[in-house]
Amino acid sequence: MGRYSRLHRIRQMDPQQDYEEIFRWVTQYEFPWDYLQGVSIAFLRDYGVPRISRLLHRTQEFERAGQKRYDDTVLIAHEMVRDGMESEQARAAARHLHRIHGRYRIPDEDYLYVLATTVVGPKRWIDRYGWRALSEQETESLALVGRRMGELMGITGIPADYAGFAHLHDTYEQEMFAYDPANRRVAAATLRVVTQRYPNLLRHLPPRPDWWPYRNKPRSYPFGWTLDDLGPHWAHSRPLRPLPEEATATTDATPAPRHSPSAGGTTGDPGR
């Protein structure tokens, strides 16, 4: 396989239909290390927003267990794409993330911005520091995976493409970026984690063969992990709830109350 063989294949694909496969090739074969650096940059940019950094500082998750907090965020996203984004595993990961976020009051615009950073951050890092820039198909695959993640989380107003994510990202920062002591505190705790990661000789290696995808080796879980391991310790005391689209589907599928011909009253769904 030549260094650009996989890129030639990707350019023949339709990201609207094949975005999950393209995303897998980007993150597990073409740019695994660079993609993670882009995600790390996304974390740091979040801290430029005082409302976000103050919340993160109050939780003390990065200060007390920065490596685990970093690993958990990356791994929950991994669990959402591991078996396909329409799989039960993806939905279980989304429910777990909902359970964690449900403890806090987070404005919708902050959810949208954080989602945008996970799309725009990796794209801009790879284009600047990767061994080549992302193709149009690869770029849109990042956006479409981000969009589907947001849909599973019940976020509304999600951009339809990369250009929309980039515009949201940049306009939000222009309006919301400001200095706050919490910015520095949370960023310093995160930098202690991310600066321990340094690159291999990426540009000088041959392409990964199809049988050898990149596999994340999180330092917090040297012997493996399950979804229940991820997140803060208190998460399991909170109930799991249906995803927003699952709740909508359940409501739509529930029969309307029936009138009893004998009593003239109503009865509920007989299956309850």
Render pLDDT for 63-112 as a digit per residue (tens, 0 to 9).
787 788 888 888 999 999 999 999 999 999 999 998 888 888 889 999 99
Q: Give one word for 5, left, alpha or beta, with left for phi > 0 and alpha for psi -120 to 50.
A: alpha
Residue 134: closest CA among 15, 43, 255, 270: 15
Count of Cβ atoms closer than 10 Å to residue 1 Cβ: 10
- Name residues whose C-beta falls within 8 Å of residue 266's C-beta, 6 or more positions apart in sequence: 257, 258, 259, 260
Using the predicted structure, report yes or no on whether residue 229 has a pLDDT greater than 60.
yes
Average pLDDT, the chain: 85
- Residue pair 101/150 in contact by the 8 Å Cβ criterion: no
Contacts with 53 (C-beta within 8 Å, 6 or more apart), sequence order: 46, 47, 180, 182, 183, 185, 186, 187
For the whole model, what pTM was predicted?
Answer: 0.82
Triad 156, 151, 115: Cα angle to 5°: 75
Residue 254's pLDDT is what?
52
Give the integer Cα–Cα distance in Å for 199 and 225. 24
Quick one: which of 18, 20, 17, 28 has its CA closest to 207? 28
- SS3 of 60-117: the string is CHHHHHHHHHHHHHHHHHHHHHCCCCCCHHHHHHHHHHHHHHCCCCCCHHHHHHHHHH
Q: What angle do CA 71, 215, 86 make, to 5 degrees?
A: 80
pLDDT at 265: 37
Angle at the Cα of 46 (from 45 to 47), degrees rounded to 5? 90
Output the CA–CA distances (angstroms, integers) from residue 233 to 59, 90, 113, 189, 229, in the order listed. 12, 21, 26, 19, 9
Q: Which residue has the higher pLDDT, 241 or 176?
A: 176
- Quick: pLDDT tens for 137-166: 999 999 999 999 999 989 999 999 999 999
* Three-state DSSP state, 127: helix
Tell me the CA end-to-end span of the chain in Å, nearest whole number: 58
d(CA 20, CA 26): 10
3-state class percentages of the chain: helix first, strand second, coil last, to nearest 5: 65, 0, 35
